[in-house]
């Protein structure tokens, strides 16, 4: 995984795990890799992975069964999608609309690009 400087690494790790949950890699109540396994997979310090797992547990996306490992919480996929959808609508989209106005890009042009991206 290539990390960027815009966000803390542990947040990027948490986002990746959320992506995997949304994609169905890990279903509800299924075990996810241990902190150590995930740290090795992503080639990061174990403490950084611990921080990511703690953040997801705090948000109720994963839970820990002592001595067994971490599991995906019931409703996690819906919770992640709803949170991301809200964030997109309230933060990302207004910035996109602003840029579209500045650059003179119309909705028809965006719709065409969207359709073309789905075909490739």
Tens of pLDDT, residue by residue over 48-97, are 999 999 999 999 999 999 999 999 999 999 999 999 999 999 999 999 99
User: What is the token pair recorded at 50?
Assistant: 């611990």
109 vs 5, residue with greater confidence: 109
Give per-residue pLDDT as tens, 85-114.
999 999 999 999 999 999 999 999 999 999
pLDDT at residue 2 is higher than 90: no
State the pLDDT at residue 114: 92
Distances (CA, A) of 75 to 7, 36, 79: 26, 25, 6
pTM assigned to the model: 0.83
Cβ proximity of 22 and 72 under 8 Å: no
State the pLDDT at residue 86: 97
CA 85 and chain centroid, separation: 11
Beta-strand runs (E) in the chain: 62-65, 69-72
State the pLDDT at residue 52: 98
* Three-state secondary-structure class, residue 67: coil
């Amino acid at each position: 995984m290539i990390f960027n400087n815009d966000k803390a690494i542990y947040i990027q790790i948490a986002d990746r795990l959320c992506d995997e949950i949304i994609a169905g890699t890990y279903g509800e109540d299924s075990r996810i890799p241990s902190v150590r396994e995930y740290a090795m997979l992503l080639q990061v310090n174990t403490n950084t992975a611990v921080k990511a797992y703690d953040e997801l547990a705090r948000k109720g996306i994963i839970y820990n069964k002592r001595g067994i490992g971490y599991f995906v919480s019931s409703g996690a996929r819906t919770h992640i999608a709803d949170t991301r959808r809200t964030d997109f609508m309230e933060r990302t989209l207004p910035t996109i609309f602003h840029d579209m106005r500045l650059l003179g890009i119309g909705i028809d042009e965006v719709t065409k690009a969207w359709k073309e991206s789905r075909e490739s």
